[in-house]
Each structure stands twice: as C-alpha cells, then as structure tokens.
Amino acid sequence: MDIFTFGILAGIGFGLCYNTGLIVIAFNFEKKRNMACGIAISGGGIGPFILTPVFQLIYEEYNYSGYFLLLGGLALQNCVFGAIFRPSKAELALTTANSDRKERFCDFVSSYMEIVRSGSMLCVCLGFFLANISIYLLYIHYPEYCLHTKSTKMEVSIFLSIAGIFGCFTRIIFGMANNSHNIDELLMLFGVFSLLGLGTIIFPLFSSFTTAKVMFACLLGGYSGCCWAVVNSIVINILGHEKVAHGVGYLMVYCGVGTFIGPPLAGFIINCGGTYGDSFIVAGILLIMGGFSCLCCTMCHRAVDTKADIDDFEFTVAADENKQTILASNKTEENDSFLIEEIKNLNIDIRFINKE
C-alpha cells in the first residue's frame, strides 16, 4: 500500500507540480529566465536545510503516523500556490495564434515526434537520465554510508541540511551566471555533472573523515540541483518557445525514469555483494557519462539566438487578447519564436534584416 500511495501517487503529484512550475517560469520570463528559474528552485534547497533536522525529531516523537501526516499537509499547500498561477502574455499569444486551427490527434502526435527525432534533445534527455540515476542513488546511499562510517543520525541530518543550503545558493548563482548570452548552458552542465562525478568517485577514499563528509554534502547539494535552473533555456534553444511545454514534459519523462531506476540500483549493488564505495563509483561514472552526453549536444547543435542572428526572415504575428504582446514565429525555421512586447498596431509586415 505504501508503494502505491507514497510511491506512485505522491510521485505523480510531485512530477506534475515540478513540471508545471518550470513551464510557468518559461512563459512568464523572457530576458532573465535562468535567474528567475534559479531563484524559484532554490526553495528545493531551503526545504532540506530547514526541515531535515525537524523531520528527524518529528519521526522520533510521532513515528510514521505523525510524520506522514505532516508531509501530506505540506504537500497540500501546492494546491494553494497552484491556484494563484495565471496565464502569461506568452501563453495568451500562443492560444490566439492557434485558435483558428483545430489540432487533431495526428497533429499532436506529429508535434511530439518532432521532439523525439531531435538528436540534440535526445542527448540532453540522456544526460539528465544518467544524472538522475546517479543523484538518487547517492541520496539513498549517502546517509547510509555516513552511518556505516560511525556518524550518528543527527549528524547525518546535519550533513543533509548542509547539502540543502548549498543547493539553495548554487541554484541562484548558476541561474544568474547562465543569464548571459555568452555562456553555453550545455557546456556548464557538462562541467557540473563531470565535477560531481569525479567528487563522487573520490569520496570513498576519505569517507571516514567528518570533514570529507561535509565537503561531499556541499558538493552533492550544490551540484545536483543547479542543473534545473537552465532546463527552460536549453529546451527553448533546441525546440523553440512554442514547444517549451512539450519539451520540458518530454525531458521530465527521462528524469522520472532515472529517478525510478536509481534507488533500486542502489539496493541491487549492495544485495549483489557490493559495498557503498562501489555504488559511489558507479554513480560517479554515470554522472560523467551524463556530462559527456550534454557535451555531445553542444557539438552537434548550435543554438540559434533568434534575437541576434536573424537574417532576412519573414515572420507571422499573433496577438493576445489584450493586444499588448505578440508572438513572432519564423515561417522557414520552425523552432525560432520569441515575444515582442508593447506593439499596438497589429496590421504590419515585420521583417528583420541583418545589416552586417
């Protein structure tokens, strides 16, 4: 029963909340999307920092019944905050652009098949798939490994709190750093996954030292969550603004499968006679492979900046119901779309010419 309720139902709910949160940010922020996403997901670091020791005390006082009751009450607050979300100007513009055509089921499938056939998108999805296997394997075995090396339960909760607070800061910093057009998000992901992988492989050599446990907690918390700050920008650069919702959802499928595989893989390694050190080595190798998968994407795909590199393209324009925001879509390049704000007169022919 716990597998169905806390595993399947809670997993579906969490996935819907996380996916929706990323898409809302993608539609509401244009210029500083990475920074906004980094600030939004920083809550994923604040929560573990504050609540990990608290949950440990609650569990010791009230056992499972009170523990899960509190978790359910906190999760219910997602309904409150979700009710506050409102359609953005970008969503209204897309709705207006698509209002004249009826999307059939075959069109829906065709739209997804374009995403599936994208080699660049596949490389990114594979990178996140391998990274999620490793990250959730580490979050399962890191506390157990610390207990195995003579740390107390309260010390382990403090280590996880340290991971949470470092995750909070790095998500904001990573989002701010990637807000510049001069930085390649995929190249940054390669560095993040590779460094975390190398640190994971090295950690078993020094796992008996408390300082090493604290340092690895900082590394794990800081580098395991900051990658989500650039998901929206990566998907938009590859697929375009119109397919950001489909693209993020497609990416989340790979992340969910990786999350599903990670914990059982952790148990499988131990049950087959392996050690915690072996599981950390496996996780580190998978993280490095995920980093190289993202690096392959940068090599096979050069994201086009539709605001800076437009050369004599013709665009179609659709306005939202307030006539204040329009969505310009390139007729020849299906993935090139962006928002133009505060244009009142819609009966115009827009043409962009590179004067270089």
pLDDT digits (tens, 9 = 90+) for 54-99: 777 888 888 877 888 888 888 888 888 888 877 777 666 666 655 5
C-alpha–C-alpha distance, residues 45 and 163, integer Å: 8
C-alpha–C-alpha distance, residues 197 and 300, integer Å: 23
Low-confidence ranges of the chain (pLDDT < 70): 1-2, 90-108, 180-181, 300-356
C-alpha–C-alpha distance, residues 206 and 335, integer Å: 48
**Strand-pair partners of 352:** 313
Q: Which pLDDT does position 22 carry in this prediction?
A: 79
Q: Which pLDDT does position 282 carry in this prediction?
A: 94
C-alpha–C-alpha distance, residues 157 and 165, integer Å: 13
| Strand blocks (E) in 176-263 | none
* Pairing relationship of beta strands 313-319 and 351-352 according to DSSP bridges: antiparallel
Q: Which pLDDT does position 331 carry in this prediction?
A: 42
The radius of gyration computed from the CA coordinates of the chain, to the nearest angstrom, equals 22
User: Any idea what the Cα angle at residue 185 is, between residues 179 and 188, rounded to 5°?
Assistant: 110
C-alpha–C-alpha distance, residues 336 and 260, integer Å: 34
Quick check: helix, strand or coil at residue 97? helix
Q: Which helix (H) or strand (E) holds 145?
A: helix 119-148
Q: Which pLDDT does position 261 carry in this prediction?
A: 92
C-alpha–C-alpha distance, residues 109 and 308, integer Å: 32
Q: Which pLDDT does position 108 carry in this prediction?
A: 66
Number of other CB atoms surrounding residue 13 within 10 Å: 13
Q: What share of the chain is helix, strand, coil (3-state, %, to 5)?
A: 75, 5, 20
User: Any idea what the Cα angle at residue 59 is, between residues 58 and 64, rounded to 5°?
Assistant: 125
Q: Which pLDDT does position 98 carry in this prediction?
A: 59
Provide φ and ψ at 304, rounded to 5°.
Answer: -95, 125
C-alpha–C-alpha distance, residues 253 and 261, integer Å: 12
C-alpha–C-alpha distance, residues 325 and 343, integer Å: 7
Q: Which of 39, 50, 53, 283 is nearest to 164 (CA)?
A: 50
What is the Cβ-side half-sphere exposure of residue 253, based on CA atoms within 13 angstroms?
A: 10
Provide φ and ψ at 330, rounded to 5°.
Answer: -70, 130
pLDDT tens, position by position, 212-260: 999 999 999 888 888 888 888 888 888 887 788 888 888 988 988 998 8
**% of the chain surpassing 70 pLDDT:** 77
Q: Which pLDDT does position 335 carry in this prediction?
A: 43
pTM of the model: 0.74
Q: Which pLDDT does position 194 carry in this prediction?
A: 94
Q: Which pLDDT does position 211 carry in this prediction?
A: 92
